[in-house]
Amino acid sequence: MAYSREMIERVIEENDIVDVVSEYVELKKSGREFKGLCPFHREKTPSFSVSPEKQVYHCFGCNASGNVVTFVMNVENLTFKEAIEFLAERAGITLTETYLTEAEYRKKKLIDEIYKVNKLAAMYFYNKLFSEEGRQALAYIKKRGLTESTIKKFGLGYSPSQGDSLLKFLKEKGYSEDFLVKAGLLSKKNNSYYDRFRNRIMFPIIDVKGNVIGFGGRSIADTLPKYLNTPETEVFKKRKTLFAINFAKKSQQDKFIIVEGYMDAISLYQAGIDYVVASLGTALTLDQAKLIKKYKKNVIIAYDSDEAGINATLRGLDILDELNLNIKVLSIPQGKDPDEFIKKEGVEVFTQLIEKADSLIEYKSKIYKKNLNMDSPQDRILYIKKIARDIAKISDEVKKEVYISVAAKIAQIPEDAVRTEISRFVNSKIEKNQKNMYMAGKIRHNIYSSSKISPEKYLIALLLYDNGIYPKIKGRIDSDMFENVKLKPIFDEIIKRLEDGKKTDVNDIVYLLEEETLISEFTDIIRIFYASDDITEQVVNDTINKIIFNNLIKKREKIKEEINKAHIAGNIDAERQLLIELQNCEKEMLKIKNG
């Protein structure tokens, strides 16, 4: 464990959930709770509730539930440990690490060593670029218009072609071949080790904390692939990484421009556009979008104008739109990429393109009608069906009316026809939300009726809500009776605290979430805990009896197996005794059934 229980509890206590959620969601007081639009799914009618009394949240639309830690984990795309550090910084608390398990220690040591060796490798590649071996690579980089200042700023380098030069260098520093494979710097084939990157211009990939987490290598010969990245390692996850994020996050501009490649990002940065990041390929991922949202609310996509770039843009738009970011699309003329365009036309012309960037709907409208014949009735219908789905998502009524007018003019149909098609999507979504709200309402007012959540989770939630229930279960239920073994440490922790005469609530078990497999269980428990105001005495008794009954079923089956074994062995006395046990077990089951 990286931080002590006491430290984690203090961090939670100093971060009121209403205050934290209010930094992301506009909340309004509604009785004893606060309500707002859910940050985890798109909606127009608020279904997201926060309870200041219980310090938890629940969405009746998408069933997201949790406390202040899980909220930050989800909204900021952080691990448990990162969320605690985020909240500690917010509250001005200095964290001190405590003991680590053997596995945690080994993982932390591996990560620290990979950071160190990557930094060494980056320095090695940089020095090679300015050596005789890197002469051709340096000439190529300068031909692409990069200055020595920019080369130094981004730490560009060169990997020699021999295939073992980095290997020899790092072995002299004391690193083993197996470790360097784990770091993504070496490859292994037929028990032979060799440099993963050979005869390539090297682009160090640096995270938001300034650590070199991996590399991109561009071939300067005809070697394929043209670009080669570090494989997945303990520190490099391509889907979670953005090239140049370490610089762009510091920009005074309240926006990011997203480009495809390293050279696009570096060229724009050199031209004075310091808010550029590259998505390390053509497809923006949800994790990358969440990383963007962590720093900026406005995003401009400037992918290449070829078919792959257009498809990547459309995918990126949908991902960013789901996160409620303000999105625009920069279309570069003549199919050029940003690097090529800015070199030919200059930064002023490129800045004008940024200012004229299309909104999400404007860009999609252009794409949807690109291969359609708008003189054809069938194509006009197809266009309206596509664009109406996107217009239906717009909450700004003025903007929506403008787009309806534009779409109607393009399709040469009355505006009311467009509104009718939009209404179809809106009504469909309302029906779906109402169904979700109805289901959530059923859970809230008759929580025990759901068979999808185990009675063990109900019992844990009820104990957290009302410690006074404990005498009802003492001596009757223990964690060995649980079918879901993941719940055992949670239940045992609660019982231990209650046995010691301590009060216990949700925050007392949050430290267990360092074990990631428990997060989904915790979410279900919070969902029940949130709705516990409506729990009756009957629900408590039913929950307890259900756990005991399920355990008796298992006990009965085990006795039956033992009876069969005794019968086959001819052990009449044992068989007789087991039959008595079976009879007593079935009596207990019947007693529970009959109430």
Q: How many whole angstroms from its chain centre is CA 526? A: 20
Give the model's pLDDT for residue 282: 63
**Across 201-205, 340-344, 508-512, least confident range:** 508-512
CA atoms within 13 A on the CB side of 378: 1
**Across 189-193, 230-234, 525-529, 554-558, least confident range:** 525-529
Confidence of residue 213 (pLDDT cuts 50, 70, 90): very high
260, 309 in Cβ contact below 8 A?
Answer: yes
443: three-class secondary structure by DSSP: helix
CA–CA dist 271, 265 (Å, integer)? 10
pLDDT at 253 over 80: yes
- Across residues 447-456, what is the average pLDDT? 59
CA–CA dist 279, 289 (Å, integer)? 10
* Owner of token pair 């920069």: 330
Give the model's pLDDT for residue 388: 87
Give the model's pLDDT for residue 441: 41
* CA dist list (Å): 538 to 3, 447, 545: 40, 12, 10
CA–CA dist 274, 153 (Å, integer)? 12
Give the model's pLDDT for residue 103: 75
pLDDT at 234 over 70: yes
Q: Where are the alpha helices (DSSP H) in 28-101?
A: 68-76, 80-91
- HEC assignment per residue over 100-152: CCHHHHHHHHHHHHHHHHHHHHHHHHHHHHCCHHHHHHHHHHHHCCCCHHHHH
How does pLDDT run across 127-141, given as a tens digit for each residue?
A: 999 999 999 999 999
Confidence of residue 394 (pLDDT cuts 50, 70, 90): confident
Instruction: Tell me 447's DSSP state.
Output: G
Q: Where are the alpha helices (DSSP H) in 234-330?
A: 245-248, 262-270, 286-295, 307-322
Give the model's pLDDT for residue 423: 85
Which among 185, 213, 210 is positioned nearest to 124, based on CA atoms? 185
How does pLDDT run across 60-82, given as a tens digit for each residue?
A: 888 888 899 999 988 887 888 88
**Across 54-63, 115-124, 192-201, 539-548, least confident range:** 539-548
220, 144 in Cβ contact below 8 A?
Answer: no
Confidence of residue 460 (pLDDT cuts 50, 70, 90): confident
Sign of CA dihedral 60, 66, 68, 69: negative
3, 104 in Cβ contact below 8 A?
Answer: no
Give the model's pLDDT for residue 533: 67
pLDDT at 429 over 60: no
CA–CA dist 404, 384 (Å, integer)? 10
> What are the backbone dihedrals phi and psi of residue 37, each rounded to the nearest 5 degrees, phi first?
-75, 130
Give the model's pLDDT for residue 534: 62
Confidence of residue 427 (pLDDT cuts 50, 70, 90): low
Higher pLDDT, 22 or 294: 22
Residue 225, preceding bond cis, omega within 30 degrees? yes
Higher pLDDT, 456 or 192: 192
Which two tokens mark 526?
A: 């919070």
71, 57 in Cβ contact below 8 A?
Answer: yes
pLDDT at 104 over 50: yes
Buried b (16+ CB within 10 A) or exposed e, 71-87: bbbbbebbebbebbbbb
Higher pLDDT, 76 or 514: 76
Confidence of residue 385 (pLDDT cuts 50, 70, 90): confident
What proportion of the chain, given as a percentage, has pLDDT over 70?
92
Give the chain's domains with CATH numbers. 5-91 (3.90.580.10), 109-236 (3.90.980.10), 245-355 (3.40.1360.10), 366-431 (no CATH), 448-593 (1.10.860.10)
pLDDT at 433 over 80: no
pLDDT at 585 over 80: yes
320, 330 in Cβ contact below 8 A?
Answer: no
Burial of 147 (0-12, 13-18, 19+ CB in 10 A): exposed
The mean predicted confidence, pLDDT, of the chain is 85
- HEC assignment per residue over 174-196: CCCHHHHHHCCCEEEECCEEEEC
Cβ-based neighbours of 493, under 8 Å, separated by 6 or more: 508, 509, 512
The model's pTM: 0.66
- Across residues 484-494, what is the average pLDDT? 84
The most confident of the ranges 190-204, 471-485, 560-574 is 190-204
CA–CA dist 458, 443 (Å, integer)? 12
pLDDT at 265 over 70: yes
How does pLDDT run across 517-527, given as a tens digit for each residue?
A: 777 788 888 88
pLDDT at 456 over 60: yes
Which two tokens mark 479?
A: 């964690």
Which among 511, 518, 526 is positioned nearest to 465, based on CA atoms? 526
The most confident of the ranges 61-75, 148-162, 397-411, 541-555 is 148-162
pLDDT at 5 over 70: yes
CA–CA dist 213, 204 (Å, integer)? 8
Give the model's pLDDT for residue 372: 86
Which among 291, 292, 328, 332 is positioned nearest to 309, based on CA atoms? 332
Which two tokens mark 540?
A: 């408590």
**Across 56-65, 307-316, 457-466, 578-587, least confident range:** 307-316
Sign of CA dihedral 30, 33, 34, 38: negative
Q: How many whole angstroms from its chain centre is CA 297? A: 17
CA–CA dist 395, 102 (Å, integer)? 51
- Across residues 270-291, what is the average pLDDT? 88
Give the model's pLDDT for residue 102: 78
Sign of CA dihedral 327, 331, 332, 335: positive
> What are the backbone dihedrals phi and psi of residue 260, each rounded to the nearest 5 degrees, phi first?
-85, -50
> What are the backbone dihedrals phi and psi of residue 188, each rounded to the nearest 5 degrees, phi first?
-130, 135
